[in-house]
Structure 1
Amino acid sequence: MIMSFGNDVEFRRYLESSENVYADVSRIAREARSLANDMNNKLLHSDAITCAVHGTSPECEMWRDAEDEYEATVIRDMFCSIEDKAVCDAVYDSYYDSKDARHLIYVYNEIKDKPRQARVRILTRMLWYKLQA
């Protein structure tokens, strides 16, 4: 959401004609903080201020969950260096099961041999400590 120049001019005129500029700006800041808190702080503060100024509600597409995006990037980068698809799948399942349970869980799926299971444990631990730190 971009605040257009026309809207900016209207807002400046409103502030210039205001009896108490400080109170108006404080009200907008309070509304923006409340809006950001309602969105679990996934909304950019600048977008929250713009929504408060215009009296609109934010669109769902306006924000991204940066934590999930970072997590996906780290996982993708790790899997680029692993050729064994079964190990990748097991690490992926292990990480997300661990995340849901809030402690490490190893899921081997169909992996039966000990060296590949050890690889799953090592990679899951690497991923866990990198993303949960």
Structure 2
Amino acid sequence: MYQQTANWTFTAGASATFRFHGSTVALHAVRDTDQGIMSLSVDGGSPVTVDNYAAARNASGTVWTSPALPSGSHTLMTITNTGGRNAHSTGNNIAVDRADVSWSRNAFATHTGPSATPGLLATGPRTGTGHTASPPTGCRRTSRNA
């Protein structure tokens, strides 16, 4: 987990927005026995469903990566707890850790780095380090060892 924190919710319908500047984004989230299903989309596109259930805990694995996008400002919208869960899951919790944003300056150079912030589920620019933001309504921040 990035800085040993994650933002989480078990409330169906809870959602958040993440704005970024780049050409791809990789979303990291907890995968575990009590995790549910989330939907997400980029720039208001068709939602993608991601099942975060796993038989063994992975506190910060990549659960989804966007397709290549035009370099520029984008909105990863509607990270939403669907309230659904895998038949093997014991819960419908969604715990988002961080997003890694990549950008291309030309066809030959790609730069990658973490969002450099805990509090992924809060809106706003993602620059610098040590930024702490409050999670949105319906979401909680927790510190939990991997």
Q: Which structure is richer in relative contact order (CA contacts within 8 A, separation 6 or more)? A: 2
The alignment's TM-score, normalised by the length of structure 1, stands at 0.22
The structure having more radius of gyration, on CA atoms, is 1
Q: Which has the higher helix share?
A: 1
